[in-house]
Structure 1
Amino acid sequence: MSNVYDKAHELKNTLAESGEFQTLKSLHEQIKADEVATRMLNNFRQLQLELQQKQMQGIQITEEEAVNAQQQFELVQQHELISKLMDAEQRLSVIIGDVNKIITEPLEEIYGTPGQE
């Protein structure tokens, strides 16, 4: 029987070679080469992180913070490279989520699906 870790490394390599990952990597490199795009993206991600930390601490996000976050999101979405990067991140996230569902199926057979009675 093959080693689970060997299969995990094989899956890692397959993911790294996928078109979705290669697109994401290329876009990330293009953004790193663009000072304005890098600054915009870093500022947006910092804002996201701060809001997530507040939520995790149970602190209510103010209306002003929500509006500011929405404005920042709309601003970064207008930058072509950042918009493409976010789309590529979403596509890869879906793939990883699907793979996670597949590899946890044996556990669901034992424990059931979360939320099922």
Structure 2
Amino acid sequence: MANPYDKARELAGELQGSEEFTTLKGLHDQVNSDEVAKRMLDNFRNVQLGLQEKQMQGQEITEEEIQEAQKQFELVQQHEVISKLMEEEQRMSQLVGDINKIITEPLEALYGTGEEQ
């Protein structure tokens, strides 16, 4: 019987060799080699992280903070490489989500989703 950990490592290798990962890595390298783009993306992600932390702590997010996040988002969307990177991150996230769904199907079948019990 196959070891699930070995299969997971095999799957990780497949992901790493996928077109999605290769494209994502190339765009990531492009952004990191461009000081301005990297700073823009880092600023955007720091604003996002700050808002997420406040939300998780149950703190109110101000209208000013929402506007700042929107401004940062619009700024990074105007940068062609960052915009492509974010699109590719979304594609990779979808791929990993789909794989996760497939992997957890046996558990869902075993425990049910609550609707079939």
TM-score (norm 2): 0.96
Aligned counterparts of 1:48 and 1:101: Cα–Cα separation in 2: 26
- Tell me what 1:72 maps to: 72
The 5-angstrom pairing of residues 3-18 of structure 1 reads 3-18=3-18
- Residue identity in the other structure for 1:22: T
Query: 5+ residue gaps in structure 2?
Result: none
- CA shift, 1:12, in A, is 0.2
Query: 5+ residue gaps in structure 1?
Result: none
Aligned counterparts of 1:116 and 1:62: Cα–Cα separation in 2: 38
- Answering whether residue 15 of structure 2 is matched by residue 40 of structure 1, we say no
Report Cα offsets for 1:34-65 as digits up to 9, x if no partner.
00000000000011000000000000111111
- Tell me what 1:2 maps to: 2
Q: Secondary structure at the match of 1:70?
A: helix
Aligned counterparts of 1:33 and 1:63: Cα–Cα separation in 2: 34
Deviating beyond 2 angstroms after TM superposition, the runs of 4 or more aligned structure 1 residues are none
Number of aligned residue pairs: 116
The 5-angstrom pairing of residues 23-102 of structure 1 reads 23-102=23-102
Aligned counterparts of 1:60 and 1:45: Cα–Cα separation in 2: 19
- Report % sequence identity: 67
- What is the CA RMSD across the aligned residues, in angstroms? 1.1
Q: Secondary structure at the match of 1:43?
A: helix
TM-score (norm 1): 0.96
